[in-house]
Amino acid sequence: MSSAEAEAKALDAGDPGHRELFDIPPADGGAFPEVAYFAGNSLGLRPKATRVELLADLDSWAELGVEGHLDAARPWLPYHSLLTGPAARLVGALESETVVMNSLTVNLHLLMVSFYRPAPDRFKIVIEDSAFPSDSYAVRSQARFHGFSPDEAVVRLRPRPGEDVLRTADVVERISDPDVALVLLGGVNYLTGELMDIPAITAAGRAAGAVVGWDLAHAAGNVPLSLHEWDVDFAAWCSYKYLNSGPGALAGVFVHERHLDAPLQRFEGWWSTDAASRFEMAAESRPPASADAWQVSNPPIFSMSPVRTSLELFDQVGIGVLRERSLRLTAYLESLLALITPTRQLQVITPTDPSRRGAQLSLRIGGGLRAGELAKVLRFEFGVIADAREPDVLRLAPVPLYSLYHDCWRAVQALAEAVPENA
């Protein structure tokens, strides 16, 4: 064992995380029994408790049939409320401001029904140029739905020439224009891993008269959030990345309390009405003064079960504790990469300031090597799972719940062998 590998193992002994709570995929041969998993920013690993808890909910169906709505150990009728408290605590919100429902892009559309209110002189939507494609599709379709040209309505923020990430001052300058109706940015950019200055951008946008919403797909469960305190208008997030709730898992919504009694347009369905009067079967909805009013359909219990299990884990460990380990783990990975990148066509494009990034380092690959090809080499020759974004970005996410310092060492050793040194 080399001294570098021994150092990584010593760091794991002193700063172990919670790997024992998760199922780690096998490496299928090679020097190590388990993969070094760096794709938690795409799909988190399964908590061991998820299977047990989900089977218990399924057993209630077998044993009780329809009576499970009221008589299950976790009754189905109010089941979604079991997720509200831990979800609110995770994102720094009031319980009345929070609901878990649907999937991320569906929720963004439902929220834009309420919060994208364009006028002839104020109709523009500001996003990052490198926003995740579904966000881009969503805002373009919203602009089109309201009768505006998407090419004119959607403003795409680009970094300065020669830079990879946005500057807060540049964002603030553009969103302060009076033509901006809606700001919808990623809290952590999926491609570069940049953590945006959410409070500063929110304050600037709202001061200028715009509505400010956030896509927190890569921020929820990754970095501490204080949505209520930061005065964010609305936010949405998925729960299959850092929240480890399974592929396509249910998503979360935040609506600031100042909007809960406002006469906003909403799409409504059975679950939009007040729970106490739901079974009166009235013809008109009586929505509660809470984020529950944005619900449409009754919640899918067996999809909620893994989200509940995961959120309970975050409640137990604490996002502050996880953030501290994340900073240490990501800094260690960064220090190892610094030993090999100067002699290879590899460049870290994630901000070097730890306060401006989450649990991710993105590498730009040169020399004609495509990210997907490199990811395959890492996986099948070295047992390292990374995430490729074509043509030239490889994303490494050391997740503080289950990643090891030794995983970081393995990843950098694999990169050093897979990427040739400069001629």
pLDDT above 90 (res 31): no
Q: What is the mean pLDDT of residues 319-323?
A: 98
Residue 159's pLDDT is what? 97
Residue 315's pLDDT is what? 96
pLDDT digits (tens, 9 = 90+) for 86-142: 999 999 999 999 999 999 999 999 999 999 999 999 999 999 999 999 999 999 999
**What percent of the chain stands above pLDDT 90?**
97
Geometric angle at alpha carbon 200, from 150 and 115, rounded to 5°: 40
pLDDT above 70 (res 423): no
Joined together, the tokens standing for residue 216 give 């927190």
Question: Is the CB of residue 368 less than 8 Å from the CB of residue 355?
Answer: no
Q: What is the mean pLDDT of residues 266-282?
A: 92
Q: What is the mean pLDDT of residues 20-33?
A: 91
The domains found in the chain, sorted by start residue, are 3-47+318-418 (3.90.1150.10), 78-317 (3.40.640.10)
Report in angstroms the alpha-carbon separations of 352 from 191, 358, 361. 15, 11, 9
Residue 54's pLDDT is what? 98
pLDDT above 80 (res 57): yes
253: left (phi over 0), alpha (psi -120 to 50) or beta: beta
The whole-angstrom separation of Cα 149 and Cα 155 is: 12
pLDDT digits (tens, 9 = 90+) for 179-229: 999 999 999 999 999 999 999 999 999 999 999 999 999 999 999 999 999
pLDDT digits (tens, 9 = 90+) for 378-392: 999 999 999 999 999
pLDDT above 90 (res 24): yes
In this predicted structure, which of 30-34, 40-44, 75-79, 100-104 has the lowest mean pLDDT?
30-34
Q: What is the pTM of this model?
A: 0.96
Joined together, the tokens standing for residue 286 give 């009586």
pLDDT above 90 (res 29): no
* Beta bridge mates, 195: 188
pLDDT above 90 (res 28): no
What's the burial of 422, exposed, middle or buried (CB within 10 Å: 0-12/13-18/19+)? exposed
pLDDT digits (tens, 9 = 90+) for 35-54: 999 999 999 999 999 999 99
Specify the residue for token string 């830079």.
Answer: 163
Dihedral of the CA atoms 341, 342, 343, 349 (nearest 10)? Answer: 40
pLDDT above 80 (res 341): yes
How many residues make up the chain in this entry? 423
Residues 6+ apart with CB under 8 A from 194: 165, 166, 188, 350, 351, 356, 357
